[in-house]
């Protein structure tokens, strides 16, 4: 079995990790599980969603695929952060090291995005750049064996691309049809380039000053 570790930590964003989860978990041959510093319930950024981690970082010495979600805990990180330390430990063992949203901030802190084109939540491009990566407004970016995806919902697109890389286009299309991923957003406001500068600044402000 190909092992897929989906990382959890306090204040993760739920859809960041459930998007990839749902594209991967029913694929034959993949052993998908949630992994965190400690086993047990991990609470998301809203405080309303508790997901269970079935493995600890300590008992996970190698993974074929790791997925690091974003959330609200990636300001003022340093090298003592448990997720950063786990990425440093696990990356040399993986076939694919991936992130969704500000999960790439952890990858950057672990020193594996230096000089690489990568993405993150659009409101965090500057932070990713300050950490040595080259931010780009693409939905999913492959740089060698590292894949970074944009904000929150992009993990679904990333997951399908990963399935295609691993098992071919037909398997990815099977999953896409199974999860009926034929998106029809009621508005066209999902990317900073699609909204007015004023609207973008307003939403950026919410992220810069989260009252949580």
Catalytic residue numbers, as ranges: 101
With a CB cutoff of 8 Å and minimum separation 6, the contacts of 131 are 105, 108, 109, 113
> Shortest Cβ distance from residue 153 to its own copies (Å)?
4
Dig out the tokens for 96 from the structure: 């694919």
Dig out the tokens for 110 from the structure: 């672990």
38 binds its own copies (CB under 8 A): no
Q: Is 48 exposed, middle or buried (0-12, 13-18, 19+ CB in 10 A)?
A: exposed
112 binds its own copies (CB under 8 A): no
- Listed ranges 58-66, 78-86, 126-134, 196-204: which one lies at the site for its own copies (CB under 8 A): 196-204
For residues 89 and 68, is the Cβ–Cβ distance under 8 A? no
> Shortest Cβ distance from residue 191 to its own copies (Å)?
4
Q: Which positions from 145 through 164 interact with its own copies, judged by CB under 8 A?
A: 150-154, 156-157, 160-161, 164
For residues 46 and 53, is the Cβ–Cβ distance under 8 A? no
Dihedral Cα 181, 67, 122, 19, nearest 10 deg: 20
Closest to 141 measured CA to CA, from 133, 150, 132: 150
> Shortest Cβ distance from residue 139 to its own copies (Å)?
4
33 binds its own copies (CB under 8 A): yes
9 binds its own copies (CB under 8 A): no
21 binds its own copies (CB under 8 A): yes
Would you say how long the chain is, in residues? 212
**Site of interaction with its own copies (CB under 8 A):** 13-15, 18-19, 21-22, 25-26, 32-34, 41, 46, 48-52, 54, 101, 121-122, 139-140, 150-154, 156-157, 160-161, 164, 169, 172-174, 176-187, 189-192, 194-195, 199-200, 202-203, 206-207
């Amino acid at each position: 079995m190909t092992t897929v570790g989906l990382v959890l930590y306090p204040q993760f964003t739920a859809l960041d990790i459930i998007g990839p989860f749902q594209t991967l978990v029913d694929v034959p041959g993949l052993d998908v599980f949630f992994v965190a510093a400690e086993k047990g319930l991990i609470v998301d950024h809203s405080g309303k969603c508790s997901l269970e981690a079935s493995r600890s970082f300590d008992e996970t010495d190698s993974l074929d695929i790791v997925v690091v979600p974003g959330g609200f805990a990636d300001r003022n990180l340093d090298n003592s952060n448990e997720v950063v330390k786990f990425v440093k430990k696990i990356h040399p063992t993986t076939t694919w090291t991936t992130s969704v949203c500000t999960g790439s901030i952890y990858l950057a802190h672990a020193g594996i995005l230096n000089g690489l084109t990568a993405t993150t939540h659009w409101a965090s491009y500057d932070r990713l750049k300050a950490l040595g990566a080259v931010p780009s407004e693409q939905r999913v970016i492959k740089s060698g064996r590292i894949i970074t995806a944009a904000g929150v919902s992009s993990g679904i697109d990333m997951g399908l691309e990963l399935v295609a890389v691993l098992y071919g286009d037909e398997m990815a299309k099977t999953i896409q049809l199974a999860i009926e991923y034929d998106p029809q957003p009621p508005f066209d406001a999902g990317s900073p380039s699609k909204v007015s500068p004023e609207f973008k600044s307003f939403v950026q402000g919410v992220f810069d000053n989260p009252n949580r």
